[in-house]
Amino acid sequence: MQSFPPRIHVLLAREAPVGVVIRRGPSRQVCTLLWDRRTDTFALGQWLKGRIYERRCDLSPDGTHFIYFAMDGKWHSLSKGSWSAISLAPFLKAMTFFPKGDCWNGGGLFIENDRYWLNGDGCHARRRDTTILHRDESYRPTGGRGGECLSVYYPRLLRDGWILNDHLSAGITDQCDVFEKALGNGWILRKYAHAQVGSPMGKGCYWDEHELVRSQSDLCLKQPEWEWADLDGTRLIWAKTGLLWTGSLTEAGLAESRLLYDFNGMTFKRCTAPY
């Protein structure tokens, strides 16, 4: 059986120098890590034997809380086999716990540090709650699409400074939206967000690729292996083949690339949240 590098997705806190890395691999095992962006150090949160839908997750502006949607397929358990939850980042132990029972909607977005929107609000059961976080039932994010990952992912991208520039389609089973973010010095980071039935081997039905474009010239540096990329302050960050990198841009292109972390050798480990 062909093997693939772990998939990496990153959530960056908007008002604090931290992030949460969601690392998936093998396909039914996933873990979370806290990334201290000041020191570029990483600390393991917890593993789950199941799936976290990374495009339906969010991190509070201060980086304290993590909202996620997960599935372990145990349909007769208290979780109903899938659930939305809010935890202390980077852990998975739920402070707020909403059993779901299917894989439509789920997850959500933080509006403020203590206020959040639950995706598919009325189709969750309430099992556990906390008084320090408040669900806003009137909030409606803009830019979402459908009842799966894009209902959270696209509003999150737009909120975090990405601009939706184009929509490409090769039929109902192959859709692609083009987002762009200015990097400075004339460079643009372009994200191709695919929603595809029959996606390439090693990718899910939702997958991204990227390219770097110099707006003042015809220079275009295609980065098909970049599964996630964004701007962290003034530096470019990207993930490919289970590795997280940073680098700077000159007029000619990428320079001074530096490996931040290699997630390839990680294996499942039972961890207990400290709360």
The secondary element (H helix, E strand) that includes residue 151 is: helix 150-159
Grouping H, G, I as helix, E, B as strand and the rest as coil, residue 43 is strand
Structure tokens at 219: 């220079």
111-115, 131-135, 169-173, 205-209: segment of lowest average pLDDT: 169-173
Q: Which residue has better confidence, 36 or 202?
A: 36
pLDDT reading at 268 higher than 80: yes
Q: How distant, in Å, are the alpha carbons of 72, 108, 130, 259 from that of 229?
A: 28, 21, 33, 14
Contact by Cβ (8 Å): 100, 84: yes
Contact by Cβ (8 Å): 248, 235: yes
Taking residues 16-23, report their average pLDDT: 98
pLDDT reading at 123 higher than 80: no
pLDDT per position as a tens digit, 81-98:
999 999 999 999 999 999
Q: Pick from 196, 271, 206, 198: which is nearest to 7 by CA?
A: 206
**Secondary structure (DSSP) of 57-82:** -EE-TTS-EEEEEEE---TTSTTTTE
Burial class (CB in 10 A: 0-12, 13-18, 19+), 255: exposed
Contact by Cβ (8 Å): 213, 187: yes
Mean pLDDT of the residues in the chain:
94
- Whole-number pLDDT of residue 15: 98
Q: Pick from 73, 50, 48, 58: which is nearest to 12 by CA?
A: 58
Phi-psi region of 34 (alpha: psi -120 to 50; beta: other; left: phi over 0): beta
Task: Return d(Cα 192, Cα 206) in angstroms, integer.
Answer: 11
Q: Pick from 90, 133, 132: which is nearest to 110 by CA?
A: 133
Q: Which residue type is seen at 102?
A: D
- Whole-number pLDDT of residue 274: 95
What sign results for the dihedral spanned by CA atoms 233, 32, 153, 113?
Answer: negative
Q: What is the pTM of this model?
A: 0.96
Q: How distant, in Å, are the alpha carbons of 82, 103, 228, 245, 269 from that of 18?
A: 27, 29, 17, 16, 23
pLDDT per position as a tens digit, 216-265:
788 999 999 999 999 999 999 999 999 999 999 988 889 889 999 999 99
**Residue 27: what are its φ and ψ, rounded to 5°?**
-60, -30
Identify the band that residue 1 occupies on the pLDDT scale cut at 50, 70 and 90. low
